Amino acid sequence: MNDKRIENYREYFTKDYLMGPNCLRLLDEMRRKYPLAEGGRVMDLGCGTGLTSMFLAKEAKLRVFATDLWIAAAQNAERFISWGIEDQVIPIHADANALPYAEGYFDAIVSIDAYHYFGAKEGVFAEKILPFLKKGGVFMAAMPGVKEELTGEAADLLMEWVEGNKDDYDTFHCRKWWLDLMGKSKEYEVVMDLDLDCYEEAWNDWFVSGHEYGIKDKAFMDRGMKRYLSFIGLVIRRK
């Protein structure tokens, strides 16, 4: 069950703010299952239109560096001012493969419905993300995945859904695949991994958001994609 406070943000469950399944529901479930200490410094990696950054600032009382490649920092800055959080949230335009921060700077790095676009490759986490965490800091991610690696008709349906784009196809993996990718390390440990309970609600909010991609995605869900998918949550702590 989602925290009832999520309803305070319902006005943002629209095509003007959402860029996929409802990021606020995903973040809300993750932070309730693994709370972040108030007052910390967090990088919101792949923040999109800044909804997750607002939520982290208001609900988790964190100092947020809202980092995104696709959305201009100036656009997010205007939103943060309008939301009254400009003193808590700093907008940054940056590529996840070339982050402009000091190493060991953050208490936490959060990536909601974004990490699969750039992190599904060997070495990315250890080399590009982990160095920016303090020792004892945590990386928290939620990303769309599959219940088990797809074959046959299920794989064909996914490929049709992503319009034959192999890069997009290769972002969908099961939880075991992600755990194997992260692997065991002397530098970090996985402290939580799960399939998120809010999976269906998050997708349903996207379907009714009015976004053309939401309408397209629903058509593929109705054709059977829904039974293969999950939303995967990971929390990794730097040792």
Locate tokens 């490929």: which residue? 159
The whole-number pLDDT of residue 32 equals 95
- Least Cα distance to 106 among 41, 154, 52 occurs for 41
Q: Is 12 helix (H, G, I), strand (E, B) or coil?
A: helix
Residues of the chain with pLDDT under 70: 1-3
Q: What token pair was written down for 32?
A: 């309730």
pLDDT at 1: 42
pLDDT tens, position by position, 79-131: 999 999 999 999 999 999 999 999 999 999 999 999 999 999 999 999 999 99
Sheet holding 41-45, edge to edge: 89-93, 63-68, 41-45, 106-112, 133-146, 229-238, 188-195
- Which residue in 84, 78, 17, 81 sits closest to 52, CA to CA? 17
Q: Which pair of structure tokens corresponds to residue 173?
A: 């993996």
**Residue for token digits 């991609």?**
213
3-state secondary structure of 133: strand
Tokens of 25: 């529901």
pLDDT of residue 3: 62
List, in sequence order, the alpha helices (H) in the chain. Answer: 23-33, 51-59, 73-82, 115-118, 124, 152-161, 166-169, 175-182, 199-207, 212-222
Is residue 213 helix, strand or coil?
helix
Give the whole-angstrom CA distance, residue 154 versus residue 178.
19
Instruction: Look at residue 224 and give its three-state secondary structure.
Output: coil
Q: Give domain limits for the chain.
A: 35-198+218-238
Centroid of chain to Cα 204? 17
The pLDDT value given to residue 28: 96
**pLDDT at residue 180 in the model:** 94
pTM: 0.95
Provide the CATH topology of domain 35-198+218-238.
Answer: Rossmann fold (3.40.50)
